[in-house]
A and B are shown apart, each in its own frame.
Chain A
Amino acid sequence: MTQISRRELLKLLGAASIMGGAALRPVYGKAAAKVVIVGGGIGGMITAKYLRLINQDVHITVIEPDSIYTFCPGSNDVLVGESISDFQRTYQHSKDRYQLQMIADRVKDIDFNRKQLKTGSGKKIAYDYLVLSPGPGFVFDNIAGWSKELADSKILHAWKAGKQTLMLRDQIRAMPQGGVMVIAPPPMPFRCPPAPYERASFVAEWMAQHNPRGKIIILDNNPGFVFQKQYIKYWKQRRAYGTDKASIEWISSTQGGAVTQVDARNMTVRIQNGETIRADVINLIPTNTANRLLIRTGLTQGKDWAAVNHHDMSSLVQKDVYVIGDSADFNIKTGYLAADQGKVVAQAIHARLHNQAPGQPLYVNDCLAKAGKDFGMTLTETYREREGKLQLAQSIQRPLSSEPENTFMRHFLVAAADNWQRSFRRDVFD
C-alpha cells in the first residue's frame, strides 16, 4: 500500500468512526511513531485523546500506576458530602476508544540518549516522543516535624484527590463541636490557586450546619490570593469574617502566617510570627515543585520546574521531550491549562510527524470557582506566546469589585462551575 492511499484509507476510517462514536481504529504503518505519555491525569489523557483524534498512525502508550483517576476539580465538594465516585474514572473506556496502550507501572528512569524509559517493574519502553505529565512533586521537609508518612496518615494534604480526600473528609466529620481546622496553603505557584480558599469556604459552610462553633484558620505562605476580594466579601457576609465570631480567619504571610513547624502528637502548628496554634484537623498543603522524576532525570536543572519552550511545551533540556501540567515552568498551574497544554502538544507532535513546524499556541484558563452553594466566581485568563515565552494577555475576575452585587450571577456561576466540571471530565475521558 502506498503512503497516500493508506493515509486516505485512514482518513476515511477515522472519519467514519468519529461520526459513529465507535472506537478509533488505527492502522499503523511500519514507521508509525511511538508516543509515550507518562501520567494518566488531565494533561496525559487529553494529549492521548487529542493526538488520536487527529492521527491514527501513531502508537500511543500511557504509563499510569493507578487504575482509577480522581479529578481534583470538584474534590473539595467531596470533603463536604458529595460522592467521590462522581469525580472518578477508570481508563478502560479511553483505552478502547482511542486505542491506547495502558501500562500500569511507575517510571523509574529515563535514558534520553537511547530514548528509552525504565519502569519500576524493570520494563524498558522505547519512545520517539515523550510527554511528561506526572503531576507535581511535594516537598515535606520544609516544615519541621512533617514527613511523607505523616502526610499519608494524620497531617494530610489531600492535594491529589483520592484516598486522602476521603480521609480528610472523615477527619472533618470527626471534629469535636467548636473544633478548629487549619488549612495551610504553600507558596505560589501550586496546583489550582483558588483551591485552598475554596476548601476553607466549603468547610465553613458545612460547619455552619454541622459544627456551628467550629472554626477554620488559613495559615498562608502568600500575601494574597486569587479571588481574594470576592472570598473576603463573601466571608464578611456569611462567616462574620473579621469579627470575633468569625468562622474563617486568614493569616497572610505578611502577618507571619506561614507554618514552620508541626507537632502531630499535640496537634499544634507553629507559624512564622512565633504563635503556636492548636487544631483538631491540620491540613498542610506541601510546597509544589516539578515531579521528582523530572528532578531526578535532570529536566529541571536544579530549579523547581522543568524549563520549556512555551511555543510547543517542549523541554529546553532534552530533545523530543514535552513537559506539561504541574511540572512545567508555567506561571499558573490548573487543570484547564494542563488540558490546553496537552492539546498544544498533540498538535505539535502531529505537525512534526508530518515534517511541519508546530503552529502558534494559545493557552486559556477559564476558571470557575465557588465560595459556597450560592456564590460562584469566574476568572478569564489568557496567555499568548512570543519567542518561546509566555505573555499574560488577559486576567479578569467576575463578579468584579466595581460591579453592583448581583445575586443571579452568584447563583448561576455555581451551576456553571458544576457544569464545567462535568463537561471537562468528558473532554478528558470521553
Chain B
Amino acid sequence: MLKILCVLVTLWSTYLMAESRTGQTPPLWTSESWAEAIKAMPKGDVQRGEHLDAKAYCATCHGDKGVAPSRNTPSLAGQDPLYIYKALMDFKSGLWHIDNKSLGMHALTLPMNKQDMADLAAFYGVQVRPHQTNAAAVSAPPVMAACTTCHPASGDAGPAHSGPALGGQSVYYLVRQLNAFKHHRRNTDVGGLMGSMAQMLSDKQQEAIAKFYAQQ
C-alpha cells in the first residue's frame, strides 16, 4: 500500500518536475564552496528573525514558532541554524527544487538577503524542537547505523553541523526527502553524500528509518 503511494509520489514528482520552470540549475555544493558559505554567513538576530517569520507568514505552513501543523511541511523549531540558512539559500538559488512546493519557498526567499536568512535561522534555532509523544515506540532498524554519524539517534542535529535534526518530523516528510535524494531530485547535499546514501536504501528501510526518527 505504502509502496504504491511512494511510487505514485515519485511518478507524480517527476511529472511536476517536467512542468516546472526554474531555468538554469545552480552549481552543486562541494565541501570547499560550503566552507566558504559558512564563513560568509552573517550573525543571526533572533528578534529580527521573529519579525521576519511573522512578515513572511511562515506559520501558515510551518506552524507557530516553527512546529508544523501538518505532515506536508517540516517543523523548523530547534533545527540547526546552519541547516535552515543553507535551505533558504538553496530555495532562493533554485538548487532545492523538488516539486511545486519548492516554488512557494523559492518565491518567499526571493526578497531575502543573507542577513534575513541568518536571522530566521537564529529564530528557529532557539525554539523547542517538537517530539512525537503519542507515537508507538519503534526500535532503530539495523541499517540506521549508517545514518547516525551525522543524524544522531537522539533526533538532534549532528555534531559540527554534519546533519540536520530529524527528530519529530513527519514520516511522510522524511520519506519524501529520502526519495528525493535517492532519485536525485534533491541535490542540496554537500558532495552528494545523501544522494549516495539514499541510493542504498529500499523503500522498507526508508520507511523504518523515517518512523524511528519521527518519534524522537
* Cβ 8 A contact of B107, one of A82, A406, A411: A411
Q: Is the CB of A412 within 8 A of B19?
A: no
The distance in angstroms between the C-alpha atoms of A39 and B106, with both chains bound, is 38
Chain A residues in 8 Å Cβ range of B100 = 419, 422
List B contacts of A263 (CB < 8 A): none
A418 contacts the other chain (Cβ, under 8 Å)?
A: yes
User: Given the complex of chains A and B, what is the CA–CA distance between A86 and B18 in angstroms?
Assistant: 10
30 example contacts (A-B, Cβ-Cβ < 8 A) are as follows A82-B21, A374-B110, A406-B55, A408-B55, A408-B56, A408-B57, A408-B108, A409-B57, A411-B107, A411-B108, A411-B110, A411-B111, A412-B56, A412-B57, A412-B104, A412-B107, A412-B108, A414-B107, A415-B103, A415-B104, A415-B106, A415-B107, A415-B108, A416-B104, A416-B107, A418-B103, A419-B103, A419-B104, A422-B19, A422-B100
> CA–CA, A419 to B103, complex, Å?
9
Neighbouring A residues of B106 by C-beta, 8 Å: 415
A86-B20 Cα distance, complex, nearest whole Å:
10
B interface residue numbers (CB < 8 A to A): 19, 21, 55-57, 100, 103-104, 106-108, 110-111
A407 at the interface (CB under 8 A from B): yes
Q: In the complex, which residues 405-430 of chain A have their Cβ closer than 8 Å to any Cβ of chain B?
A: 406-409, 411-412, 414-416, 418-419, 422
Of A86, A407, A415, A419, which one neighbours B111 at CB under 8 angstroms?
A407
Write the nearest CB–CB distance from B213 to chain A, whole angstroms: 29
- A63 to B57 Cα, complex, angstroms: 46
Q: How far is the CB of B127 from chain A (nearest CB, A)?
A: 20
Chain A residue contacts of B103, Cβ below 8 A: 415, 418-419
Distance in Å from the Cβ of B74 to the closest Cβ of chain A? 18
Interchain nearest-CB distance for A120 vs B (Å): 35
* Assembly CA distance A82 to B20 (angstroms): 12
Shortest distance in angstroms between B160's beta carbon and chain A's nearest beta carbon?
Answer: 32
| Residue numbers in A under 8 Å from B55 (CB-CB) | 406, 408
Complex CA distance for A190 and B4, rounded to whole angstroms: 45
Residues on B with beta carbons closer than 8 Å to the beta carbon of A416: 104, 107
A418 to B20, CA, bound (A): 10
Residues of A within 8 A of B (CB): 82, 86, 374, 406-409, 411-412, 414-416, 418-419, 422
Please, how many angstroms separate the alpha-carbon atoms of A374 and B107 in the complex?
8
Distance from A344 Cβ to chain B, minimum over Cβ atoms (Å): 28
Q: Which residue of B lies closest to A423 (CB)?
A: B100
Say whether B19 contacts A86, CB under 8 Å.
yes
- Nearest residue, chain B, Cβ from A77: B21
Bound state CA distance, A414 and B55, in angstroms?
A: 17
Complex Cα distance, B103 from A86, in Å, reads 17
A86 to B15, CA, bound (A): 12
Please measure, in the bound complex, the distance between the C-alpha atom of A374 and the C-alpha atom of B110, giving whole angstroms.
9
Q: Which residue of B lies closest to A373 (CB)?
A: B110
Q: CA of A406 to CA of B111 in the docked complex: distance in angstroms? A: 10
Contacts of B104 in A (CB 8 A): 412, 415-416, 419
For the complex, what is the distance from the CA of A414 to the CA of B106, rounded to whole Å?
11
Q: Which residue of A lies closest to B103 (CB)?
A: A415
Q: Which residues of the partner chain A approach B56 to less than 8 Å between Cβ atoms?
A: 408, 412
Pick the 5 closest A-B CB pairs, nearest first: A415-B107, A408-B56, A407-B111, A411-B107, A415-B103
Q: Find chain B residues with CB under 8 A from A411 CB.
A: 107-108, 110-111
Shortest distance from the beta carbon of A424 to any chain B beta carbon, whole Å: 13
CA distance in complex: A419, B108 (Å): 14
In addition to A412-B108, A415-B103, 5 A-B residue pairs with Cβ atoms within 8 Å of each other are A374-B110, A411-B110, A412-B107, A419-B100, A422-B19
Complex: chain A residue closest to B104, CB-CB: A415
Complex Cα distance, B99 from A419, in Å, reads: 11
What is the CB-to-nearest-CB distance from A345 to chain B, in angstroms, rounded to a whole number? 30
Find the A residue at minimum CB distance from B107: A415
* Residue ID in chain B nearest A410 by CB atoms: B111
Return chain B residues, CB-CB under 8 Å to A82: 21
* Assembled-state Cα–Cα distance A163/B18 (Å): 24
Using Cβ atoms and an 8 Å threshold, which residues of chain B touch A412?
56-57, 104, 107-108
Shortest C-beta distance, B19 to chain A (Å), equals 6
CA gap between A416 and B55 in the complex, in Å: 17
Which of B19, B21, B106, B111 counts the most chain A CB atoms within 10 A?
B111
CA distance A408 to B58 in the complex (A): 10
A405 to chain B, nearest CB (A): 10
Name the distance in Å between B190's Cβ and chain A's nearest Cβ. 27
When chains A and B are docked, how far (Å) is the Cα of A166 from the Cα of B24?
25
Q: Quote the shortest CB–CB distance from B78 to chain A (angstroms).
A: 23
Among B19, B56, B103, B107, the one with the most A-chain Cβ atoms within 10 Å of its Cβ is: B107
Residues of B within 8 A of A86 (CB): 19
Using known A-B contacts A415-B106, A422-B100, determine if residue A408 contacts B111 with beta carbons closer than 8 Å: yes
CA distance A397 to B57 in the complex (A): 17
Q: How far is the CA of A411 from the CA of B106 in the complex (A)?
A: 9
In the assembled complex, which residues on chain B have CB atoms less than 8 Å from the CB atom of A415?
A: 103-104, 106-108
Q: How far is the CB of B115 from chain A (nearest CB, A)?
A: 15
Nearest CB in chain B: distance from A227 CB, A: 19
CA of A378 to CA of B114, assembled, Å: 29
B98–chain A nearest beta-carbon distance, Å: 14
Residues in chain B near residue A414, CB distance under 8 A: 107
Assembled-state Cα–Cα distance A139/B19 (Å): 36
